Structure 1
């Protein structure tokens, strides 16, 4: 099969054998795949990193491994594949293997392109909100005003739009911080939007504390986690009883020193979806995802098709690295790849 091999040296279209699913896994024939910022960062920050990258796919089940009973050949699905696990699980190929617990069965209303935009950021949002921050899940015990509000920093980011929607489904009021894309955060359900640009940390923190009708927020989901966002969050959550702060990018001990003792701090890692600890939780939510898309309970982020199929991945990763992608997800149609049989 054709696949994109990513390393420090390049993003080359190569030939690779079709992978085989092990027990608890499925093989998917990809129709559409998408990029995440980590796809261009890994070869830069990990010495000698070299693999077929990517983790967001949509396509049809080609084969199932031992013990997999809820999927069969031909099922229309989207999947979040294992991260940093070599060529077998990479999205940038004609075929990919995924653990069955992070595969969502799709309905007729959901396009492959829209579905490919979802899996990794959806998993990151779900795990961050309901496991790491400890917020209530949607259902009979959904949140009330007394449960506090959520701030999503990066409300127009790939992860942010799903964090907003999921928190709203759970009953929370949501305040979103973004720049020029405040309209995107509002479109996906944010009750209020704040512009971080050209403001001192103290001034923006005061805006956050005055948001939500003067009640401020109890939770901060930091989908940016750089350029001092932790400093503003620390000021905004000061003296808030039961406050929690979750960050998606690593922050060192020195950076986290600013966080007051009343704030519970957690790193948000979507890769735990494939660990024993969070695997069952992730499976529950991926089972929920397909029907929720059909009913419009959750909406995919806007997608932009990059021409050329897998050949277009090089251009897509260039755009991400240059920060040219705002409020959208870059998607590639496999059938557009030059030289496919």
Structure 2
């Protein structure tokens, strides 16, 4: 099969690779399409020690084989899910390949349609040209993240009562915006700031959390970019992950999901490399790059 493997020097290439081994609680999926995330090119360009790892996180496809301990899936099921791409502990994990191994419970069966809405009041930041799109996805208020007063403007809108922020960017600049937006009234309760990477948060009266989503696989792993410590297997997070994906499948079936506009492209794994390069250069906005996979093709590399 073909797979995108991380190469030395912050590059990636489409190469020949053996089928990933089927672990007892995993399924083997024939990949039909993959979607791209910023973390995928960051695994290639910034994370040390990932040479030889398969890149990619999101996938959709058809189950071909199931592991000995799998009870909820069978060959022929259409599924979509998430993998631990760039995993230095299991280098064959990752979705940018003709075949994917994916853990039972961390995926959903594909129904006919999907839309999502949240029961929370959601405030989002984005570029002004994406305001209407983000509002159509369910955001109650949208702000320009490049505005010098965006944090203060959010605090004013929320009457100094914003206590939860999830920072998907997690840079020092985005942390500053979140610090300005979160309530400074900490008598009743302490505001919570959650990031996906370690960054400098400029307030000491806020609870700071770093969310490492890969704990939902319930397996130990190492993230060199987050320090030398090993993340131990977390059975509680795996149980939560299974509940999350089961609920997601239910909501998807009921038509309760709404998603970023997909930009569906052909080009197979070579096209994925081009898309990763676009993501890295900041050329993708307001949409999700999705590539359908086809057999064959030449090798290529992400430009760095």
Pairwise TM-score range, normalised by the shorter structure: 0.7 to 0.9
Q: Tell me the equivalent position of 2:156.
A: 210
The alpha-carbon deviation at position 109 of structure 1 amounts to 3.3
Q: Tell me the equivalent position of 2:203.
A: 259
| Separation (CA, whole Å) in 2 of partners of 1:176 and 1:22 | 39
What secondary structure sits across from 2:250 in the alignment?
Answer: helix
The alpha-carbon deviation at position 11 of structure 1 amounts to 2.6
| Separation (CA, whole Å) in 1 of partners of 2:18 and 2:276 | 24
1:189 is aligned to 2:159: no
The alpha-carbon deviation at position 44 of structure 1 amounts to 2.5
Contiguous gaps of at least 5 residues in structure 1: 111-161
The alpha-carbon deviation at position 48 of structure 1 amounts to 4.2
Q: Tell me the equivalent position of 1:286.
A: 245
- State how many pairs are aligned: 274
| Separation (CA, whole Å) in 2 of partners of 1:336 and 1:84 | 22
Per-residue CA deviations over 1:164-193 (Å, capped at 9, x if unaligned) read: x5xx53x32111122232222211111111
Q: Tell me the equivalent position of 1:120.
A: none
Q: Tell me the equivalent position of 1:145.
A: none
What secondary structure sits across from 2:216 in the alignment?
Answer: helix
Q: Alignment partner for residue 164 of structure 2, among 219, 239, 256?
A: 219
| Separation (CA, whole Å) in 1 of partners of 2:29 and 2:137 | 30
1:303 is aligned to 2:262: yes
Q: Tell me the equivalent position of 1:71.
A: 73
2:113 touches 2:255 (CA, 8 Å); kept in 1? no
Q: Tell me the equivalent position of 1:122.
A: none
TM-score by length of 1: 0.75
| Separation (CA, whole Å) in 2 of partners of 1:290 and 1:308 | 29
1:246 touches 1:268 (CA, 8 Å); kept in 2? yes
2:43 touches 2:55 (CA, 8 Å); kept in 1? no
Distance 1:21 1:336, change over 3 A: closer
| Separation (CA, whole Å) in 2 of partners of 1:47 and 1:88 | 17
What secondary structure sits across from 2:272 in the alignment?
Answer: helix
1:38 is aligned to 2:39: yes
The alpha-carbon deviation at position 15 of structure 1 amounts to 1.2
Q: Alignment partner for residue 62 of structure 1, among 51, 61, 64?
A: 64
What secondary structure sits across from 1:249 in the alignment?
Answer: coil
| Separation (CA, whole Å) in 2 of partners of 1:105 and 1:337 | 27
1:250 is aligned to 2:198: yes
What secondary structure sits across from 2:208 in the alignment?
Answer: strand
Per-residue CA deviations over 1:245-270 (Å, capped at 9, x if unaligned) read: 1112221xxx22x2232x22111211
The alpha-carbon deviation at position 88 of structure 1 amounts to 2.3
The alpha-carbon deviation at position 227 of structure 1 amounts to 4.7
Contiguous gaps of at least 5 residues in structure 2: 219-234, 299-304
1:28 touches 1:60 (CA, 8 Å); kept in 2? yes
1:106 touches 1:291 (CA, 8 Å); kept in 2? no
How much is the aligned-residue C-alpha RMSD, in angstroms? 2.1
Distance 1:206 1:11, change over 3 A: closer
TM-score by length of 2: 0.83
The alpha-carbon deviation at position 305 of structure 1 amounts to 2.2
The alpha-carbon deviation at position 80 of structure 1 amounts to 0.8
The alpha-carbon deviation at position 87 of structure 1 amounts to 4.2
